[in-house]
Amino acid sequence: MKKKKLKTKSFKLIGSFLVILLGIMMISRIKWTKENIDRIEYSNEAITIMKEKNIYDEITKKEYSKTVEKMLESGKFDSKYVDEYSKINLQEKENFEDSINTFLNKNYTPEEINNIFEYLNDTNQNKLKEMDHIDLKDYIKISNLEVDKIERYENYRIEKNTNIQDAVTKVNIGLDLEFYSEIETIKDPTSYTVLLNKYRGLPENYVPEDLTPLSINNNYKLRAKAAEAYEQLQSAALLDNVKFFPFSAYRTKEYQTELYTKYVARDGKNAADTYSARPRHSEHELGLAVDIRSDGLNDNLTEEHYKWMLNNAYKYGFIVRYAKGTTPITGYIEEPWHLRYLGIEVATDVHNKGITFDEYYDLYLKNNEK
């Protein structure tokens, strides 16, 4: 009996040993097979080219790379970049193969190239292809980055002792240049959220098509939507006992010219520029701005009315465009009386973010319109 038990025990031991051995063999077999699969994951077409170029061994000893395969298949494979290709993530993009060759030829590292594809929009990518290599490290994740302005950003950042994000936005607005020194003509002046300032002007012949008189005084006109919003603003204000009157709304180019010329003659150009827009740069020429005053005598808004506007105008689609503290960005003195129509959605967002429309436009709108 005892002997038999011992025999069974040994059998069991040998049995377990065999099972473990078999297990190890199976695992190594799977591993061995996987290595082979990795090697032959390349398409036949890619393998043929590898062999033609005598780089089959070099490539297949590395991990499989979709980018390497794509470069081989497209005929754009440059043997000197075998290492680099294998570190670049494949992108489903038109001209991807040419793009990475261009960047590699400009000495961008695979890591930089991956970042370029991940963070930069097409406009920036295309600009980059036309430029010498630049170090994008601190700028790559800035959403409103324009790669051709990096030198200006750096100069501004150092001069003003500010951070990168602030430098990017301010330089994009144009603030490192003299007002009116470099003017971009707006492409779509009919947009309700178009930005007009001392760097951006209207096309010579633009006249809004849907000017509508305000009910309180039909000498004053705004574009239809803005006029309708103005009526709502006025009614809402009245409920809070805030009564105001328009004293300027849409202006023709000729009238803006007349005004500006008069102010220059009176106060000189430098002074006039601080409170009057040059022709084609006034929001009044858009039919989207209205100046309001608290009584019929002074072209101004009382402090109380100004505060009401700051807290409420956005609900009807308006912002106080040249609010207190905005002069360094807008280049205009405070104008509590000047309301700009943007539509409720954008006006609310500008209000909530508490920034000027110039900054808002650069950060959130410019990539959607021009």
Q: Shortest approach of Zn ion to residue 162 CB, angstroms?
A: 30
Return the biggest CA–CA distance within the chain.
126
Q: Does 338 bind Zn ion (CB under 5 A)?
A: yes
At 366, list the tokens: 């410019």
Rounded to 10°, the helix 110-119/122-129 angle is: 140
Applying CB under 5 A, the span of 132-140, 219-227, 299-307, 335-343 interacting with Zn ion comes to 335-343
The two counts, helices (H) then strands (E), for the chain are: 17, 8
Write the DSSP symbol of residue 191: -
Applying CB under 5 A, the span of 219-227, 233-241, 272-280, 287-295 interacting with Zn ion comes to 287-295
Our CA dihedral for 187, 189, 194, 199, rounded to 10 degrees, sits at: 60
Q: Shortest approach of Zn ion to residue 339 CB, angstroms?
A: 8
Pair 286, 202: CB distance under 8 Å: yes
48-67 residues in contact with Zn ion (CB under 5 A) are: none
Give whichever of 170 and 338 is closer to Zn ion, judged by the CB atom.
338
Between strands 211-214 and 289-293, the pairing is unpaired
Q: Does 273 bind Zn ion (CB under 5 A)?
A: no
Q: What's the alpha-carbon Rg for the chain, to the nearest Å?
A: 33
Q: Does 285 bind Zn ion (CB under 5 A)?
A: no
Pair 116, 134: CB distance under 8 Å: no
Give whichever of 169 and 256 is closer to Zn ion, judged by the CB atom.
256
Phi and psi dihedrals of 240, rounded to 5? -100, 15
Applying CB under 5 A, the span of 26-34, 118-126, 157-165, 338-346 interacting with Zn ion comes to 338-346
Applying CB under 5 A, the span of 20-28, 133-141, 221-229, 289-297 interacting with Zn ion comes to 289-297
Give whichever of 147 and 290 is closer to Zn ion, judged by the CB atom.
290
Count, residues near Zn ion per rule CB under 5 A: 2
Pair 234, 209: CB distance under 8 Å: no
Pair 327, 137: CB distance under 8 Å: no
Distances (CA, A) of 150 to 17, 131, 133, 142, 230: 68, 12, 12, 11, 42
Q: Shortest approach of Zn ion to residue 266 CB, angstroms?
A: 18
Q: Does 291 bind Zn ion (CB under 5 A)?
A: yes
Distances (CA, A) of 308 to 242, 248, 317: 8, 20, 14
Give whichever of 112 and 291 is closer to Zn ion, judged by the CB atom.
291
Q: Does 70 bind Zn ion (CB under 5 A)?
A: no
Q: Shortest approach of Zn ion to residue 324 CB, angstroms?
A: 15
Give whichever of 70 and 338 is closer to Zn ion, judged by the CB atom.
338
Between strands 318-322 and 335-341, the pairing is antiparallel
Which one of 69, 112, 335, 359 is the catalytic residue? 335
Q: Shortest approach of Zn ion to residue 214 CB, angstroms?
A: 14
335 is catalytic: yes
318: β partners: 341
Q: Shortest approach of Zn ion to residue 107 CB, angstroms?
A: 51
Find the residue with minimal CB distance to Zn ion. Answer: 338
Give the N- to C-terminal CA distance of the chain in Å, as an integer: 97
Q: Shortest approach of Zn ion to residue 284 CB, angstroms?
A: 6
Which residues participate in catalysis according to the annotation?
A: 335
Point out which residues bind Zn ion (CB under 5 A): 291, 338
